[in-house]
Chains A and B, each alone.
Chain A
Amino acid sequence: MKLHPQFIIDASYLAAAFLFIYGLKRMSSPVTARSGIVVAGVGMLVATLASFLYFFGVDPAAQPHLSANLALAAGALILGTGLSWWQGKRVPITAMPQMVALYNGMGGGAAAAIAAVELLRPSVGGGLLQGIISEPGQALQLVVGEVSQRASASHGLVHLLATVVGALIGAISLSGSLIAWAKLDGKIEKTWRMRGQQVVNGSLFVATLAVGAYIIFGADGHAAPGLVAAFFVGALIFGVLMTMPIGGADMPVVISLYNAFTGLAVGFEGYVLQNPALMIAGMVVGSAGTLLTLLMARAMNRSVANVIFSNFGATGDEQQDEIKGSMKPAEAADAAVNMRYASKVIIAPGYGLAVAQAQHKLYEFVKLLVDAGVTVKFAIHPVAGRMPGHMNVLLAEAGVPYDMIYDLEDINGEFKEADVAIVIGANDTVNPAARSNKSSPIYGMPILNVDQAKQVYVIKRGQGKGYSGVENELFFADNCNMVYGDAQKVMVAMIQAVKSLEGGH
């Protein structure tokens, strides 16, 4: 039997779908994670190479443009791969969240582009799905007869619906992710809010939906190009408006949400193109991303709707009860010596650690403590850093073995037994007000119980508040001392203090 190009393509997609799911599965344990991404990468390579075989079965209408199209595809592929490869290899690890946002937006854009091509393509047949429902046998024959041009064969209702919905989600994900990227990268500093923004956003969304509905039901897929363009512009602007008011601290949830969005968009466009690899990969990511988004929002004690639609930071300005006590400063060297003679130290790092690029110095200090016989553990809050698990990546970069790192649920019971808890560049995630003060905006958020340790040191640049704008009761507690200064400089001072101690003996 002669191997038909379409058979090779389908077989490759089957293999790719398997490799993606198997790869993601392997990524679920730190031991096999590295091989997981390689497995998934092989799947991507196989699917992409096989897709060049579409060459042998294009639309008759596209036949005259075939060589040009092939050149364009190869060129765009090489350019896109090369550019992002070069960029991805260079960007520092602290910048990973915005890179995920950026590449996620690209994927959303690609899904939207597929939809745009579909909507602008002069349609061939009509009402495929209705045909199947009314006369199954006949419709099947129609499909079999048009294998080589499956994707363009029909503008049935479901087909159109999937195209337009995928286009909407993909376009929102594109512009929204780009805003998220710009915000995380510090290119957009302020959160941009205006009066009646919800109304404006709502109206724009409804208007965009209306245009989309007209493309589906009114124009039956033969909408004027101008109208299609208006639809995409509406969706893109909505993505921008929706993301602009969201503060930097909430960006992890937003990126995760857009990751799920892109997955869904890809899944829908996969249906449109009758491409099972896109359908499976898109939907796996869609559901996984949705779950991840919910987990993250829960870790911050907020609903996803609350993140998207409320201006969180603005509520923090309300009057707060005066906090008793005062902030007591401490010298880095004293704190270091205290830890050197402790038996158990727990470290609660936050994003401030990464900003100061102090994770390497921190681990150097930790190694000194471990050598001196101190038990040291890292306690990671679910939203420490800019994405869930971001802090783990930053610590891993510094060489901290992952079996020294503990999640909130696993370590919270141990603070009672710890001689010293040290907080570096974290604030809201260690604020006991979340446990006790019902009027606090962060009330109910799970926190690290560092205040239960015998002694707490907080390394902090100044006396400022956290992202939530809430004053931190911990800093005023009797067992807490503040070590002011840049985290990296403080760590250097601590290392020297411990080293001079050893040298003195």
Chain B
Amino acid sequence: MDLATTLTGFVALYIFMLAAFAGYEIIGRVPAILHTPLMSGSNFVHGIVVVGAMFALLNASSLTEQVIGTAGVFLGAMNAAGGYVVTERMLEMFKPSAKKKA
């Protein structure tokens, strides 16, 4: 039980700050040709919300919570899976002329 991390106050702010910098730096260097797949890719990444929705649902103790929690997991799963498929399909098409197909 002593493995717990408490992410309140300044610890949370540090996490937010560093994550914000990471996101800024990563996107800042991306060539324009990858903007759409990257937007789609970041759209996929926030699909991690499904994990939070699972936590909420597993801890649900009333019917209302169960209904909302289930909707949350469903929506989050769509976000994650849909985001992945769409991004992968787009990136699959990027090919340099060196590997020319007939």
Contact = CB atoms under 8 A, between A and B. Distances in A.
Tell whether A and B belong to one assembly: yes
Contacts of B32: 380, 382, 388-389, 392, 407
**Chain B interface size range:** 35 or more
Contact of A151 (B19, B36, B55, B101): B55
Contacts of A467: none
A98 to B, nearest CB: 10
Interface in A92-108: 93, 96-97, 99-100, 102-104, 106-107
What is the interface of chain B mostly: helix, strand, loop, or mixed? helix
A279 B15 contact: yes
A152 B46 CA distance: 22
A342 interface: no
A132 to B, nearest CB: 6
Residue picked from B7, B43, B72, most chain A C-beta under 10 Å: B43
Interface in B62-81: 62, 64-66, 68-81
A103 B58 contact: no
Interface string A17-34: 000110111011111011
Given A72-B69, A113-B75, A284-B26, A20 B45 contact: yes
A120 B72 CA distance: 14
Contact of B97 (A44, A382, A403): A403
Interface in A233-279: 255-256, 259, 262-263, 266-267, 269-271, 273-279
A81 B1 contact: no
**Chain A interface size range:** 35 or more
Given A30-B34, A103-B78, A292-B27, A284 B59 contact: no
A6 B61 contact: no
A69 interface: yes
Nearest to A299: B32
A84 to B, nearest CB: 3
B43 A16 contact: no
Interface of B: 1-9, 12, 15-16, 19-24, 26-62, 64-66, 68-98, 100-101
- Can you list the 3 inter-chain pairs with the closest CB atoms, starting with the nearest? A80-B77, A113-B72, A401-B97
